[in-house]
Amino acid sequence: MTKRRDFLKISALGGLAFVSNSIKANMPKGTGFTATNGGKPLVISTWNHGLAANAKAWEVLEAGGHAIDAVEKGVMIPEADPEVRSVGYGGYPDRDGNVTLDAAIMDHDASTGAVSFLQGIKHPINVARLVMDKTPHVMLTGEGAQQFAREQGFKEENLLTEKSKQDWEEWKQKSDYKPIINIENHDTIGMLAIDKEGKVAASCTTSGAAWKMHGRVGDSPIVGAGLFVDGEVGAATATGLGEAVIRTAGSAIVVELMRNGMSPFDACKEATHRIYKRHKGRPEFDYLQVGFIAINNKGEYGGYSLRKGFNFAVHDANGATLQDAIYHYEE
């Protein structure tokens, strides 16, 4: 059972983000810890693996590159890393042992590309980018996405590492079909960036919920759910149980709330609260986790989650930080 945390108590904390003590000790002096500071350029992404991904994206931004290129290059780092068990190569398979990937990318002008249920391609974000750049469509799925990738020269490879295969074999002993979310603090990477020109962009890539049903697609490749960008306002991305984020159009809501004047932090909080209201009493509530991060077009940022354990990485001219998100529930 989880204990309800009073929203009012949390809001008394204002926009402050909790920062891990170890990170705090290493923070450069003068770096603000508020979740609403920021500037241009800036990149922010979900979870610990966001640190390495942001470092790559930062190279693009610092050199004066576009946000859309930064968010594509950045998330390729965890996609290729077999130790990141929830993204790309090395990701946990579905319950039948297939690694199936979802990814999307979106620019400030609403240009968008996505792939879902894609197999055998290590960098789905690159395929999503080409869907955006080279087709009249927004999303390709399954075999069609794979065919497109093949035509574009992508190499097909086995993405199921020995380690993930062993974990799957172990899981099969129990065959508990509950999708597992947020294991070991590693998960989907969602990345948001604002470049020197003030343009925002977002990307999101994942192997989805471990042991999911074959064919299941989460929120990550769905525009408005796993990510959303409106160049006049800002951008948002989500992590956690994709079904809950899809049901509530999570990232679109965060951006719309910012349009109506909320700070990124408050918008993430309100969207999380809506998910809480919609899901309280549902069977999946006991294992439900969702987290949002957002930036606005001034370079302010924030993050928030339903339960403890979500963190996000930020990289700007002051350096790199990892911040623990404020959350709704004490577990």
The catalytic residue positions are: 188
Q: Is 305 in the site for ligand SD4 (CB under 6 A)?
A: no
Q: How far apart are CA 273 and CA 137, in angstroms?
A: 33
Q: How far apart are CA 170 and CA 168, in angstroms?
A: 5
| Least Cβ distance, residue 221 to ligand SD4 (angstroms) | 9
The binder of ligand SD4 chosen from 54, 112, 206, 296 (CB under 6 A) = 206
Q: How is the chain split among helix, strand and coil, in percent rounded to 5?
A: 35, 25, 40
4-to-9, 234, 282, 306 alpha-carbon distances in Å = 11, 31, 16, 11
Q: Is 209 in the site for ligand SD4 (CB under 6 A)?
A: yes
The binder of ligand SD4 chosen from 164, 220, 296, 321 (CB under 6 A) = 220
| Structure-token pair, residue 186 | 């590693």
| Least Cβ distance, residue 199 to ligand SD4 (angstroms) | 25
Of the pair 100, 297, the CB lying nearest ligand SD4 is at 100
| Least Cβ distance, residue 233 to ligand SD4 (angstroms) | 22
Write the interaction track for ligand SD4 spanning residues 236-275; mark x where CB under 6 A is met and - where it is not.
Answer: ---xxxx---------------------------------
Of the pair 206, 272, the CB lying nearest ligand SD4 is at 206
Residues 122-161 that bind ligand SD4 (CB under 6 A): none
| Structure-token pair, residue 143 | 């075999």
| Structure-token pair, residue 223 | 């525009």
How remote is the C-alpha of 29 from its chain's centroid? Answer: 28
93-to-76, 81, 123, 217, 284 alpha-carbon distances in Å = 19, 15, 16, 13, 21
Q: Is 219 in the site for ligand SD4 (CB under 6 A)?
A: yes
Of the pair 161, 305, the CB lying nearest ligand SD4 is at 305
**Binding piece for ligand SD4, criterion CB under 6 A, among 15-23, 75-83, 156-164, 181-189:** 181-189
Q: How many CB atoms within 10 Å of residue 211?
A: 23
Binding site for ligand SD4 (CB under 6 A): 181-182, 187-188, 206, 208-209, 218-220, 239-242
